[in-house]
Amino acid sequence: MRHLSDRIERATGRRPVGYAPMSGGCIAQVHRVSMPGGGFLVAKVGTSAGNLDTEAYMLGLLKERSALPVPGVVHAEPDLLLIEFVEGSSRFSPRAQRHAADLLADLHGRPGERFGLERDTRIGSLPQPNRPNERWTEFFRDLRLLHMADESARAGAISPVARRRIDALARRIGEVIDEPEYPSLLHGDVWSGNVLAAGDRVTAFLDPAVYYGHAEIELAFITLFSTFGPPFFERYACSRPIRPGFFETRCHVYNLYPLLVHARLFGGNYGSRVEDTLEAIGF
């Protein structure tokens, strides 16, 4: 760890006095760094292609444009990210879920001019293109559904049959999803490992995959991995009513994107889950 300590000292002017491993994402090793005089930082260390500076950009964007609690960025390079340490765990009481609902409803109420973002970002270790578009149906079709289907098919993570079925869905995408009132700012990757809570309050959202999109795609992702349950959705609907048909159909359409991401990254049964989801929505 001497080399890492040297880099942290150059970045912060203080030399770490200890390290403890932390769970992290798929592109970096994560350490809790004990600093002299007390206090901690979190250090993410990746390869030079890790694009950790992109994560820093997304955290900074959320801090600048929203009230979502995110750790502050201390230092960022492509292969080293230093952020504030935030206390919390991924266990959510009903009150913490309701707090999360308030925070995300507020985030989704932050409108953008177009769908996408002024620059491309990443989801996990994968590129996430964000070329702006005036229409959500086109953005989701081209830069989420078809883009990740191409990535997964090239990696052999989905079958040729599944790829053709996705093409069939893409041709009729306007029949199954619709245009929102405005583009909403999204965290983009709200699973339990990316949210921290202490007691009945959410303390931080981590590892974003930010862009402006339909708020329903964020809600769908939350259902996919059961990040939150009924207390969240009941509270969220008080601020932003969830339109009929979301849980029955549109939720499954939107979850094809994270399922394709996971198929590309991890393989396993995610390819089969893509096919099951296509079957469930009639494709």
Catalytic residues: 189
Of residues 118, 142, 280, 84, the one with CA closest to residue 212: 118
Sole residue written with tokens 């339909």:
214
Contact 109, 244 (CB under 8 A): no
Q: Which residues contact 100 (CB under 8 A, 6 or more apart)?
A: 92, 195, 197, 202, 228, 232
What is the C-alpha to C-alpha distance for residues 95 and 100, in angstroms, rounded to an integer? 9
Contact 240, 232 (CB under 8 A): no
Which pairing describes strands 195-198 and 201-205: parallel, antiparallel, or unpaired? antiparallel
Q: Which residues contact 11 (CB under 8 A, 6 or more apart)?
A: 74, 75, 80, 82
Q: Find residue 230's DSSP bridge partners.
A: none
Which pairing describes strands 40-45 and 29-34: parallel, antiparallel, or unpaired? antiparallel
Q: What is the DSSP string of 146-189?
A: IHHHHHHHHTT-S-HHHHHHHHHHHHTHHHH----SSPEEE-S-
Of residues 280, 226, 227, the one with CA closest to residue 253: 280
Contact 62, 210 (CB under 8 A): yes
